[in-house]
Amino acid sequence: MRRLRIGLVAFLITCGLTSISDAQGPVMTIDDLVKKTGPELDALYQAGTVPPIPQGRVRGRAIYYPGTKLAAPMAAGARVVWQGKIFDATNATAINKFFGVRSVPGKLYQGTSWFDGAPSLILDYQDTSRIYKNYRDEIRQIGPGLYLGLMHDRRTNPPNLKMYFALEEAN
């Protein structure tokens, strides 16, 4: 029943019959996304849109083990390590912020999602980082100033979904 409800919400959002805030109650925040299950995150991602490249610092939250009791504590712990991304729309790049330091740059472009084949904003590290060269992020906007991302590991065929992450523009 839950999958049917998630599918219906995704369908309604895709058709423009409702908005994410209508379907999910009040407008979601980055903290709300940490509480979602994998299928709920999948539906939100599929209903999302390709955003214009944000500009400047965007807060981030890693989402490990979605839908389990481990999700919130893991996200809280990961905040110490990863704080988000700094986007540069002019140069179509973004750089991750780890331990408060700018590191792990990537190239931004619009491309095809490895998850569902639809358009996404891609942050690719293959040519910009030796450490992260095997990873690629996909990002879609799911609400005002709120983005859901998927990190893929390209060492497998097909590429493996490694984790979800959320991004939120500062107000």
- Listed residue (164, 158, 157, 103) closest to 138, CA to CA: 164
- The pLDDT score that the predictor gives to residue 170 is 82
* pLDDT, mean of residues 53-72: 96
* Any domain includes 156: yes
* Any domain includes 124: yes
Q: What is the pTM of this model?
A: 0.83
Residue showing tokens 């893991």:
74
- The pLDDT score that the predictor gives to residue 27 is 67
For the chain, how many structural domains are there in total?
A: 1
Enclosing domain of residue 54: 28-169
Give the contacts of 62 (CB within 8 A, at least 6 positions apart).
74, 75, 78, 79, 82, 163, 164, 165
Q: What is the CATH number of the domain that holds 137?
A: 2.40.128.580
* Any domain includes 13: no
* Any domain includes 18: no
* Any domain includes 122: yes
* Any domain includes 16: no
Report the chain's mean pLDDT, rounded to a whole number: 87
Least confident range from 1-5, 22-26, 78-82, 121-125: namely 1-5
Q: pLDDT band at 98, cuts 50/70/90?
A: very high
